[in-house]
Structure 1
Amino acid sequence: LSGVDPMPIYQLVADTSVLTLVHAGEQDLMAVKQAINGNANHLVDTQIAASLIGLPWPSSLGNTIEHLTGLHIDKAHTFTEWDRRPLSKSQLRYAADDVRYLPLVWSRIQEQLVRENRLNWAMQESATQLAGEQVFDPDRQMRRASRGEPLKPAVMTILRELVLLRRELAEADDQPQRTLLSDGALMELVRRKPDNASALREIRFVPQPVAERHGERIVQCIRAAKTMPPIRQEFARLLEDTAVRARIDAMWLAFQTRCMATNIAPNLVTSRAEFTSWLAARIQREQDLAKGSVATDAPLPFAADDWRAESIGRWLSEFIDGRGELALRWDATSGGLRLCDDSK
């Protein structure tokens, strides 16, 4: 884009009368936000929208295109080094494919959203996620990087320190945090724990320029985090009870099944870690009340005006109170689970 003024494009993305389509677009929109000193408007993220019609969360653009259209796009440059110039013809073609199929994908998704009365859900969630964080929240960043899966305390400690370092380095380099180090790069660093710059450079998710400029800082961060006291999980003592863990596992399975039977990706609704914390708080409340102790409320892990409350909140409250049920059938036509009529 040398010699091209991107400001007209940024202004178009910020225009409330124009619908902008993105796929996993939070990072892509950082440049727009910085340029116009505000948020982009009237956006749809097809990754989010696809998760409300039966696709997993998160689904890559390639998988989304293939599922909805039957078209197969080349994924050879998924982890290419995009900051190197000049870009090859195959890289340019790959980049073009990133936007070429979005209108077709959105038209297919929109048809299903309208049919199932979920268009507002997709618009609401797109606006929320694409607005980004107003205040930096390392815990949210950790949940996002780990995709909400429970982590061991020592692993959580390393991940938290890396999340904090990523923010510091990104601000120093004046670039979005996930451009500097993607969530996948963070998790690979946590898994492999490189103890020198040479080992760091072997991790393909870490861009080489980042490894060269900040490799020693990253290695030192991991080394220091390994000596820190592990982050203690909330309700750790309660969760040591195998009966409590079995109850949470069973409820999570029921929750996942209900979501999938209604074509909603469970991890878009809430993460396993957030669900565990909420249910553990509810179990703790039950135990406190049984002892006659003061009990703390444990409301659902999403707000009343959130689309999640409409889609599954009422059922979840009734189900866990013993007033609801989960009745399923197999739909041979679609090849998936569906709710029985009396379980809707």
Structure 2
Amino acid sequence: MTLIHSTSELLAFIERAQNDTFITIDTEFIRETTYWPQLCLIQVGTKDEAVAIDPLSQELNLEPFLDFLYNPKILKVFHAARQDLEIFYNLREAVPSPLFDSQVAAMVCGYGESASYESLVETLAKAKLDKSQRFTDWSRRPLSSRQIEYALGDVTYLRTVYEKLQKRLDETHRGSWVQDEMKVLSSPDTYKVDPEKQWERIRYRTAKPRMLAILKLLAAWREIEAQKRNVPRGRILKDETLLEIAAIAPKDKDSLGRMRGLNPAIANSRLGEDIISVVKSALALPLDQCPQMKATLPSPPGMNSALEMLKMLLRIKADEHNVAAKLLATSSDLETFVRSLGKEAPFLEGWRYTVFGEDAQKILEGQTGIVFKKNKIKLIPAP
């Protein structure tokens, strides 16, 4: 059990590991009280050892490890990599590659919709994980031997999980499927935060263009403010408060201070001044520059029936190919497909088209039917 907390120890580890073809990676972090995740521990597994690197140590310079991590000759194996990769993207504004995500690979190999690391370790590595430290505070020092042992388990067994999944992918010739999925994880756009688009994640029922303009500018301002202060965006203003401000459009401190969802003290603070300034900027926008609610297209005739047929097809194809249905198509994908009359959907390209998309188009066009024959559901040419 090794905890690296000095640059010299880190360099010695990198020297030992630099010729490995792949390494397993995991991180421990906290972000409950911050906007940016605080990296607290990095676990790395090689063919010979597993180590935990302490990025909070004053004696450690993390840059040599980042250079090692971004070596394109070494495959980086994660499980459910999205949040780990976000941390490394924030450190270098780039995503380490090449990548392998064992959760995605497990979905391709038929281990369920969102296979947990714990279940894969039990199934593939024939081991049982101790998850008693799952909710520990990783920012506190010193770390106990039990914490370190727990953390190393997340990369020790991942080597076996990766090797067995890769063998299965080679046998089924599905390695390219996983590679296609890694394109999203490898894209910097996956981790970039655009303040101008943050208003779109806020749920609103009905809104006029002017109200949407206020909401858009307020959400962008809040995002930037949260980043500057490094606090969760809800600590600046909650979504409900943004909606209330957008609806009322307060133009002065008195109007702002009378709002129910806002602490009256904020109206007389710099925060209050910023809010009023943002509202005034939104009110000054020409109407044609204000956001418009997305028009809801009318449902095509027989949409519900078409969706039911496609969902049945999705289950058939998922079972036939032993792949997670969610990886082939989501309910939203199917709805987009039907509304566009079979012209738009993520499954209309790549391996998904071969497995599902081509037959989905035939179902929608009436070229293929579904029957129950000899105790099995089958596809047949339409009469």
TM-score, normalised with respect to structure 2: 0.57
- Cα drift, residue 39 of structure 1: 2.6
Q: Quickly say closer, same or farther: Cα 1:152–1:273, change in 2 above 3 A.
A: farther
Deviations 1:205-251 (A, max 9, x none): xxxxx6xx765435x3234347878x978646428x8x533432342
Which of 97, 101, 109 is matched with 2:153 structurally? 97
- Cα drift, residue 142 of structure 1: 11
Matched, 1:222 2:263: no
Deviations 1:149-176 (A, max 9, x none): xx99659x9xx999979954663356xx
Question: Partners of 1:329 and 1:169 in 2: how far apart?
Answer: 62
Alignment of 1:137-156 (within 5 A): 154=205
Question: Partners of 1:138 and 1:249 in 2: how far apart?
Answer: 38
Question: Partners of 2:170 and 2:129 in 1: how far apart?
Answer: 27
In the alignment, which residue of structure 2 is the partner of 1:114? 170
- Cα drift, residue 66 of structure 1: 2.1
Deviations 1:167-190 (A, max 9, x none): 54663356xxxxxxxxxxxxxxxx
Give the superposed CA RMSD.
Answer: 4.3
SS at match of 1:29: helix
**Structure 1 contact 43–127 (Cα < 8 Å) conserved:** no
**Structure 2 contact 337–343 (Cα < 8 Å) conserved:** yes
Which of 325, 330, 346 is matched with 1:266 structurally? 325
**Structure 2 contact 223–233 (Cα < 8 Å) conserved:** no
In the alignment, which residue of structure 2 is the partner of 1:276? 335
Q: Quickly say closer, same or farther: Cα 1:139–1:313, change in 2 above 3 A.
A: farther
Which of 112, 119, 126 is matched with 1:56 structurally? 112
In the alignment, which residue of structure 1 is the partner of 2:6? none
In the alignment, which residue of structure 2 is the partner of 1:33? 89
- Cα drift, residue 139 of structure 1: 12
SS at match of 2:304: helix
Q: Quickly say closer, same or farther: Cα 1:165–1:275, change in 2 above 3 A.
A: farther
Deviations 1:242-269 (A, max 9, x none): x533432342232134223312212223
In the alignment, which residue of structure 2 is the partner of 1:324? 368
Q: Quickly say closer, same or farther: Cα 1:224–1:233, change in 2 above 3 A.
A: same
More helix by share: 1
- Cα drift, residue 53 of structure 1: 0.6
- Cα drift, residue 98 of structure 1: 1.2
In the alignment, which residue of structure 1 is the partner of 2:346? 301
In structure 1, the gaps of 5 or more residues are 146-150, 175-209, 283-296, 332-337
Once the two structures are overlaid, the 10-residue window that deviates more, 270-279 or 11-20, is: 270-279
Deviations 1:303-329 (A, max 9, x none): 53x332233222222233233355789
Alignment of 1:178-257 (within 5 A): 216-218=235-237, 220-225=238-243, 235=296, 237-238=298-299, 244-257=303-316
Which of 294, 310, 315 is matched with 2:359 structurally? 315
In the alignment, which residue of structure 1 is the partner of 2:138? 82
More strand by share: 2
Question: Partners of 1:16 and 1:277 in 2: how far apart?
Answer: 37
Question: Partners of 1:122 and 1:5 in 2: how far apart?
Answer: 34
Matched, 1:5 2:61: yes
Q: Quickly say closer, same or farther: Cα 1:133–1:48, change in 2 above 3 A.
A: same
Aligned length: 272
Question: Partners of 1:77 and 1:101 in 2: how far apart?
Answer: 17
Aligned residues with identical type, % of pairs: 21
**Structure 1 contact 281–298 (Cα < 8 Å) conserved:** yes
Question: Partners of 2:373 and 2:130 in 1: how far apart?
Answer: 37
Answer with 1 or 2: which has the greater Rg.
2
Question: Partners of 2:198 and 2:188 in 1: how far apart?
Answer: 11
In the alignment, which residue of structure 1 is the partner of 2:228? 172
Once the two structures are overlaid, the 10-residue window that deviates more, 70-79 or 321-330, is: 321-330
**Structure 1 contact 51–268 (Cα < 8 Å) conserved:** yes
TM-score, normalised with respect to structure 1: 0.63
Matched, 1:14 2:70: yes
Question: Partners of 2:198 and 2:315 in 1: how far apart?
Answer: 23
- Cα drift, residue 120 of structure 1: 1.3
**Structure 1 contact 47–57 (Cα < 8 Å) conserved:** no
SS at match of 2:82: coil
Question: Partners of 1:90 and 1:59 in 2: how far apart?
Answer: 25
In structure 2, the gaps of 5 or more residues are 1-53, 207-211, 248-291
Question: Partners of 2:195 and 2:203 in 1: how far apart?
Answer: 17
In the alignment, which residue of structure 1 is the partner of 2:258? none
4+ aligned runs moved over 6 Å, structure 1: 137-143, 160-166, 226-229, 231-234, 327-331, 338-343
